Amino acid sequence: MTKKKEKDICVTDLPGVGVATAEKLAQAGFTDLMSIATISTGALVELTGMTEMGAKKVINSARDSLDMGFVQATEYEKARERIFHITTGVPAFDSMLGGGVESGATTECFGEYGSSKTQIAHQLAVNVQLLDENNQCVYIDTEGSFRPDRIRQMARGKGLDEDKILKNVIVGRAYNCDHQMLLAEKIDELIKIEKKPIKLIIVDSLTSHFRAEFVGRGMLADRQQKINRHIKLLSKLGDIHNVVIYVTNQVSVDPSQMFGDPTKAIGGHIVGHNSTFRIYLRKGKRGSRVAKLVDAPNLPDAETIFNVVEAGLKE
């Protein structure tokens, strides 16, 4: 018996997945084989109520139906041709990042208050539409810092239609970490089911709710596990749908550090290991801002200076 082609296989063809189970999966955003092939066994059991053995069988069947093995580096290189970059509006900043903020990757900006993390977020929400006027951005606001009037100012600075730019920014105000994670989960549904042309996902900021709700060393492990699950979902969205993931992060001061800059990003190694590009922002001289690339898989450490004016980011 010949194996069905991937395009001919649907979710209900998987063993143990009937119409009712498929509907439960669809409501949670799992509408194709790839999403099911990459879900954990525990999550599938929780979503569907099936046994652990049944969940493993479903996942393995989805994986068998897809080409999820190894590929030659030349094929991987060809697959990366779909990658695009969103400009920051500052040529030196873009050059430091290899052409701008990269799709299919997670870019984290961390720094103290007033270091322009949110300004960059607003600028990217406008600039993603320079690639295509229909491109949309999802902005998860955890600190109440999103400002429509700032989007308008930056759109005017680019000579763009303010109303059209603003309509293409989809905003979700998260009031706690569970709400924040739920909003992130709904993005998959926006892309797959509602067919929205989302090319940028912003979380501003990633850690503020987790920091406030999980207090003390006794809750540190629980906090890190939740952050890990959240950022891995964001990374998966970026990779599967080829969208740009931009997250901002708060900082703290390490009192044990005697020399050098004691500023540390919140989230520790969990956030650090899951961020593809890490940028440290700080205030510079005469109102300028300094952006330092501290981690990247293919770029050297570098530093650049930019200013923030009414029209947006500038050299």
CB 87 within 8 A of CB 130: yes
134: domain range?
79-314
pLDDT at 261: 82
Q: Tell me: do 44 and 119 sit in the same domain.
A: no
Percent of the chain's residues with pLDDT above 70? 97
Place 5 in a pLDDT band, splitting at 50, 70 and 90.
Answer: very low
Q: Tell me: do 51 and 94 sit in the same domain.
A: no
Assign 37 to helix, strand or coil.
Answer: helix
Per the structure, how many domains does the chain have?
2
What CATH number did the domain enclosing 54 receive?
Answer: 1.10.150.20
Q: Tell me: do 141 and 234 sit in the same domain.
A: yes
pLDDT at 3: 44
**pLDDT reading at 303 higher than 60:** yes
Does residue 236 come out as left (phi exceeding 0), alpha (psi in the -120 to 50 range) or beta?
alpha
Is 72 part of any domain? no
Q: What CA–CA distance (Å, rounded) separates 275 from 231?
A: 8
CB 50 within 8 A of CB 43: no
Q: What is the pLDDT of residues 12-30, one digit of tens each?
A: 889 989 888 888 888 777 8
Is 69 part of any domain? no
What CATH number did the domain enclosing 102 receive?
Answer: 3.40.50.300
Q: Tell me: do 37 and 94 sit in the same domain.
A: no
Q: Tell me: do 91 and 42 sit in the same domain.
A: no
CB 204 within 8 A of CB 139: yes
- Eight-class DSSP state of 1: -
Q: Tell me: do 127 and 34 sit in the same domain.
A: no
For residues 99-122, average pLDDT: 97
Q: Tell me: do 41 and 189 sit in the same domain.
A: no
Q: Tell me: do 20 and 118 sit in the same domain.
A: no
Domain boundary among 34, 64, 94: 64
Residue where the block lists tokens 């989007």? 151
Q: What CA–CA distance (Å, rounded) separates 93 from 113?
A: 20
Determine the residue type at 299.
L
Assign 32 to helix, strand or coil.
Answer: coil
Q: What is the pLDDT of residues 55-104, one digit of tens each?
A: 999 999 988 888 777 889 999 899 899 999 999 999 999 999 999 999 99
Is 275 part of any domain? yes
Q: Tell me: do 49 and 118 sit in the same domain.
A: no
CB 158 within 8 A of CB 86: no
The rounded mean pLDDT for the chain is: 92
Lowest mean pLDDT among 182-191, 251-260, 289-298: 251-260
Q: Tell me: do 120 and 220 sit in the same domain.
A: yes
Residue 239: Cβ within 10 Å count: 16
Report which of residues 37 and 277 the model is more confident about.
Answer: 277
Is 240 part of any domain? yes
**pLDDT reading at 200 higher than 90:** yes
pLDDT at 254: 83
Q: Tell me: do 89 and 40 sit in the same domain.
A: no
Helix axes 19-27, 41-48, angle to 10 degrees: 110
pLDDT at 257: 77
Place 262 in a pLDDT band, splitting at 50, 70 and 90.
Answer: confident
Q: Tell me: do 100 and 249 sit in the same domain.
A: yes
**H/E stretch holding 136:** strand 136-141
* Closest residue by Cα to residue 99 from 311, 309, 296, 307: 296
Is 73 part of any domain? no
